[in-house]
Amino acid sequence: MRSLLAFSRSIDALSRLVGKVVAWVILIVVVVSATNAVSRKVFDMSSNAWLELQWYLFGTIFLLAAGYTLLNNEHVRVDVLATKFSERTQIKIEIFGVLFFLLPVSCLVLWMGIPMFIDSFVSGEMSSNSGGLIRWPVKLLVPVGFTLLILAALSHLIKCIGFLKGACPNPTVKLNAKTAEELLAEEIAQQAAVQAQENTKKGS
C-alpha cells in the first residue's frame, strides 16, 4: 500500500503542476479575449485565427484541468443519498463510481481520441474557416487531457482504498471546507474593507 500511495502522491504532484500551468492559460485567455473584443469593437478588426485561438485555450482549460479539479474535489458530485450513509460506505460508493463510470468512460474517450488526433496530424488538417488555425494541436488536447484525468482517477482510487485500510485520510474531504466561490467572495470583501479604511484615512 505504501508504494501505491507514493505513486498516488506523484500523480497528485503532476496534477498540481498542470493546475498551475492552466491558471496561466486562464490569464492568457482573458488577455486574448479582451484584445480581440477591443480590436473588433473599436477598430472594426478581427480574424478567425483570434477567435479559434480563444476556443483552443478554452478547450485547454477544460480538458487539462479535469484531473486537478478531481484532486481538489471541486467536480460536481450528487450527494443527496450518499451523505446519509457512513463515511466508509460513502468511500465504497466513490470506489464503485470510479471503477464503473469514471475510468471506463475516460478510457473510451482516450481510445477514440488518439486515432482522431493521429489522422489530423498526418493530414495536416486545417480549419475550414478563412484564416483559421491548424487543427491537430487542439485535437491533441483530448488524449492528453483524458490521460491526466485517468491518472487522477487512479490516484483517487488508491487513496480511497488506502482510507478503508486506515493508511491515509479520507480523500473526498476538502482541505478547505469553503468553496472557491466563498473564498473569492471573502477576498473581495477584505479588499473592499481595506480600500474603505484607506479612503476614510484620506478623508480625515
pLDDT at 151 over 90: yes
User: For residues 142 and 138, what is the distance between their CA atoms, to the nearest angstrom?
Assistant: 8
pLDDT tens across 92-116, in order? Answer: 888 998 999 999 999 999 999 999 9
In terms of Cβ atoms closer than 10 Å to its own Cβ (0-12, 13-18, 19+), residue 145 is buried
- Rounded to 5 degrees, what angle do the CA atoms 149, 150, 155 make? 95
pLDDT at 42 over 60: yes
Model-wide pTM > 0.85: no
Query: Which three cell numbers, joined as nine digits, stand for 85?
Result: 450513509
Q: Are 153 and 98 in contact (CB under 8 A)?
A: yes
What is residue 43's DSSP assignment? Answer: S
**Is the model more confident about 90 or about 149?**
149
pLDDT tens across 173-196, in order? Answer: 776 556 666 666 777 888 888 887
Query: Which three cell numbers, joined as nine digits, stand for 21?
Result: 500551468
